[in-house]
Chains A and B, each alone.
Chain A
Amino acid sequence: MRAVLGAIGLMLALATPISAFEIEEDTRFPAIGGSEHALLSVLSTTDTDVLRPVILAFQARNPGITLRYTVANSQQVYSAIADEGAVYDLMISSAMDLQMKIANDGLARPLHSSATDSLPEWARWQDLLFAFAQEPVVLIVALSALGGTSPPRTRRELTQLLRDHPENFAGRIGTYDPEKSGAGYLFVTQDARLSDTFWRLAEVMGGLDPKLYDSSAPMIADLKAGRLVLAYNVLGSYAAPRIAQAEGLAMVELEDHTLTLLRTALVPRSATAPELGALFLDFLLGAEGRSLIAREAGLPPIDAAALAAKPHLRPIRLDAGLLVYLDAMKRRAFLEEWQAALIQP
């Protein structure tokens, strides 16, 4: 199967001369009914398997649409549209800052529909960028490392725990490397912005020789294998199904603040079938799409009531402030500070 997909990817790569970015998966969902009428190309950071049920349901509703689903990492997805002139009709990414930059730089197409208009204010930016999932960023901790106490509820408690039991955690803490992972960078910058205790926590973690990861999969794998006892800033929706069988791991939404990532979509200005892109977006935001996203994809759909019920959840603000951390100088300065805190001799 992988070989087949790879072959298709290769064929497509050959057919489209401007695919200089690194594609991870490239899947073609043929139109239902056999006769192909229209092609909808989606570029996404979300794994094909996650959205597959949603895509199939969309095609069942809209016969005659062949859907090409390309997966790449967030930086690649961004530069495909921003720099390389790749042509896609819908762009889905969890990197809110990069999506924001695409919209801000005039590379997104304005959209209006009853579905987009009914989104809450915090889940969209102008008529360009729309969120379809809200995903808490959580802490995962092995109960065995707690020394009999209950899991920490705030960053202050976590810091205290690390100070009290350094022997349990030394060399067994994992988190993203913000230099290599876009999501990791977004999470730490937002953490730094939202709480003063974050820097203290970073220093304490730094003293315990943390392991840094480029992506979530190996971090989760190390957790399950027991090589890690604590993972900080993991996407809950990604981790939950993967650690479900593992015993002794607790997923904690810290109560001082739990960042909530918005998975967003936009229709690029360069789209050749923007109406199809908009159609798929409307499906994602509509009642059927929302329930499929929740049930089959395992992503929490946009839901203001769910947020209100958990006041510690802080959706990362979808506004121009996100652009600041993309500034090269700012990024360099921030990473220097982060390294000074976390990477101790």
Chain B
Amino acid sequence: MRDNGALSLRERLMLQLLVLAAVLAVALFVAVRTVAGSAAEETLDGVLGAATIAVADELRGGEEGVSVDLPHEAFSILGSISEDRIFYRIAVDGATITGYDDLPLPEAARSPAELSTPIFYTTQYRDTEVRVAVMQRVVLAGRLSTAVTVLVAQTRAGQAEIAARVANQAAGIGLGVFALAAVLSILTAGSVLRPINRLAEAVGRRGPSDLRSVDHPSPAELRPLVDALNGFIARLRAGLMRTETFIAEAAHHIRTPLATVRARAETALRKAETEEARETLRAVIRAVEESARSASQLLDHATVVYRSDRPERESVDLARLVAGLAQNFQPVAGLKDVEIHTEGVTAPVEVVGDRLLIEAALRNMLDNAVKYSSPDSEIALVLSRKGDEACVEVADRGRGLSGGAQPDLTRRFARGANVGDVVGSGLGLTIVEEVAAAHGGRFELAERKGGGTCALFWVPLG
């Protein structure tokens, strides 16, 4: 399946779904982190801003200048949200009144209106990064309106801790989503591919000569493929049929003129005067016989091939069939003083199959037995049940197979080395084997004990 190095549909689908899931999980992680991070910053900024306002509210003017009574609660609450370090500075015109006098003011100048509420910025202070809230209040100091800047700064270890905790949770959620998506993608891949698998199975289960069109239920996406396949099958069947019809017609067309040739040659033979001419005419007659035989076997074979495609499924009584054949062959056998003994034909033996085909097979077996028998011998024609199969045995006391192997003898147009001057086309056993296969049975050809040949034909019982 994988020999061309391409990924299977299932792998491809799962891979893409997993990649999608991974992307989603990462996106979720980033989104949760960012949102939670900024939410945490906003919350902490809110508290820092409130503390700054509380400090600004304690600013007082007066004759001696600006003073401030730092509110304990503001710092305490700031410290209780997270144990962060706190710095503050209260300045007038850049001159520090109290607090950490190196705490940096905002870089950009701000208008008094902007600074009436806290503005936040992040900056480096001493050994650490701090978040600063800055605002301004105007107080009357020494009868002058004085703008006082209040800065309250806080390290953000607490925020980093919240962010880390949220990141862990987000990672957990991401992993969970990914795991869930992985499971779902396996299930999805399975359910998406099920119709394809079913179709492939149904097509794969077919026998080599099953040329029926595919009518397996399939999803709309597969319809074009199935239609194409059916079109292909139909063309193939039509092509095959044309060929077989052509062969049958050809054989038929050949047989008629051959009969004429043969009749003329026999007349000529009777009138011939020289031994040489007679010899030639006998060779002509023999060749014509062979051709005629070939033509009729070809016709039979074509029929077999054509019908094997869709064999008739009818009930066939082998006993009657075998008995009838024995009767038919009696005259031919009589010419050679060969006797045909039938056995097991008194009770019906029913099989399901195509009567015409089975008859063609048995006829060829019997034909061989008679053809290759020695004069004045016997042929046993035995019908029996063996397990869930019926078996027709044709056993002669003829020349045997002389070591010819069954596969060699059943090939098309293959004839044994033992044929001598017996006329034949080499298609007989091919027909037998094809019929056996079409019925789910089998054929066996073997040397018979005590001389001769034994041919066995099995078909499943109906």
Interface residues of A (CB under 8 A from B): 103-106, 125-126, 193, 317, 319-321, 323-325, 327-330, 333
Which of B79, B97, B127 is within 8 Å of A106, CB to CB? B127
Chain B residue nearest to A124 (CB atoms) is B83
Q: Are B76 and A329 in contact (CB under 8 A)?
A: no
Tell yes or no: B69 within 8 A of A by CB: yes
Residues of B within 8 A of A325 (CB): 72
Q: Are B69 and A329 in contact (CB under 8 A)?
A: yes
Q: Are A193 and B72 in contact (CB under 8 A)?
A: yes
Residues of A within 8 A of B71 (CB): 324
Tell yes or no: B444 within 8 A of A by CB: no
Q: Are A319 and B127 in contact (CB under 8 A)?
A: no
Distance of A337 Cα from B87 Cα, bound (Å): 25
Tally of contacts, chain A with chain B, CB under 8 A? 56
Shortest distance from the beta carbon of B223 to any chain A beta carbon, whole Å: 69
Q: Are B70 and A319 in contact (CB under 8 A)?
A: no
The verdict on A327 contacting B99 (CB below 8 Å), with A317-B76, A333-B69 known, is: yes
* Interface size, chain B (Cβ < 8 Å): 24
Q: Are A333 and B67 in contact (CB under 8 A)?
A: yes
Shortest distance from the beta carbon of B102 to any chain A beta carbon, whole Å: 11
Shortest distance from the beta carbon of A56 to any chain B beta carbon, whole Å: 35
Residues of A within 8 A of B72 (CB): 193, 321, 324-325
Residues of B within 8 A of A104 (CB): 85-87
Q: Are A105 and B126 in contact (CB under 8 A)?
A: yes
Tell yes or no: B210 within 8 A of A by CB: no
Kindly name the residue among A320, A321, A325 whose own CB sees the greatest number of chain B CB atoms within 10 A. A320
Q: Are A324 and B98 in contact (CB under 8 A)?
A: no
Chain B residue nearest to A334 (CB atoms) is B69
Residues of A within 8 A of B127 (CB): 106
Kindly name the residue among B71, B72, B157 whose own CB sees the greatest number of chain A CB atoms within 10 A. B72
Shortest distance from the beta carbon of A320 to any chain B beta carbon, whole Å: 3
Q: Are B126 and A320 in contact (CB under 8 A)?
A: no
Please report whether the interface of chain B is mostly helix, strand, loop or mixed according to DSSP.
mixed
Tell yes or no: B73 within 8 A of A by CB: yes
Which of B68, B78, B98 is within 8 Å of A320, CB to CB? B78
Tell yes or no: B128 within 8 A of A by CB: yes
Tell yes or no: B75 within 8 A of A by CB: yes
Distance of A79 Cα from B86 Cα, bound (Å): 20
Tell yes or no: B80 within 8 A of A by CB: yes
Distance of A193 Cα from B69 Cα, bound (Å): 13
Q: Are B99 and A321 in contact (CB under 8 A)?
A: no
Q: Are B75 and A320 in contact (CB under 8 A)?
A: yes
Q: Are A323 and B97 in contact (CB under 8 A)?
A: no
Q: Are B70 and A126 in contact (CB under 8 A)?
A: no
Distance of A328 Cα from B84 Cα, bound (Å): 22
Residues of B within 8 A of A193 (CB): 72
Shortest distance from the beta carbon of A226 to any chain B beta carbon, whole Å: 38
Q: Are B67 and A329 in contact (CB under 8 A)?
A: yes
Shortest distance from the beta carbon of A103 to any chain B beta carbon, whole Å: 8
Q: Are A319 and B98 in contact (CB under 8 A)?
A: no
Distance of A320 Cα from B80 Cα, bound (Å): 8
The verdict on A125 contacting B83 (CB below 8 Å), with A319-B76, A320-B76, A323-B75 known, is: yes
Q: Are B86 and A126 in contact (CB under 8 A)?
A: no
Kindly name the residue among A105, A106, A126, A324 whose own CB sees the greatest number of chain B CB atoms within 10 A. A324
Residues of B within 8 A of A319 (CB): 75-76, 79-80, 83
Distance of A106 Cα from B87 Cα, bound (Å): 11
Shortest distance from the beta carbon of B409 to any chain A beta carbon, whole Å: 93
Chain A residue nearest to B83 (CB atoms) is A126
Chain A residue nearest to B125 (CB atoms) is A106
Top 5 A-B pairs ranked by shortest CB distance?
Answer: A321-B76, A320-B79, A319-B79, A324-B70, A320-B86
Q: Are B70 and A106 in contact (CB under 8 A)?
A: no
Which of A105, A125, A317, A329 is within 8 Å of B98, CB to CB? A329
Q: A106-B128, A319-B83 are in contact. List 7 more A-B contacts (CB 8 A).
A: A103-B85, A106-B85, A319-B79, A319-B80, A321-B75, A329-B98, A330-B70
Chain B residue nearest to A126 (CB atoms) is B83
Residues of A within 8 A of B126 (CB): 105-106
Residues of A within 8 A of B79 (CB): 319-321
Shortest distance from the beta carbon of B131 to any chain A beta carbon, whole Å: 14
Q: Are A327 and B70 in contact (CB under 8 A)?
A: yes
Please name 10 pairs of A and B residues whose Cβ atoms are closer than 8 Å in the assembled complex, sorted by A: A104-B85, A106-B85, A193-B72, A320-B84, A321-B72, A325-B72, A329-B67, A329-B69, A330-B70, A330-B98
Distance of A125 Cα from B99 Cα, bound (Å): 21
Chain A residue nearest to B158 (CB atoms) is A126
Residues of B within 8 A of A103 (CB): 85
The verdict on A323 contacting B83 (CB below 8 Å), with A106-B128, A329-B70, A333-B67 known, is: no
Kindly name the residue among B76, B80, B97 whose own CB sees the greatest number of chain A CB atoms within 10 A. B76
Residues of B within 8 A of A330 (CB): 68-70, 98
Residues of B27-76 contacting chain A, CB below 8 A? 67-73, 75-76
Residues of A within 8 A of B83 (CB): 125-126, 319
Distance of A324 Cα from B55 Cα, bound (Å): 11
Residues of B within 8 A of A323 (CB): 75, 86
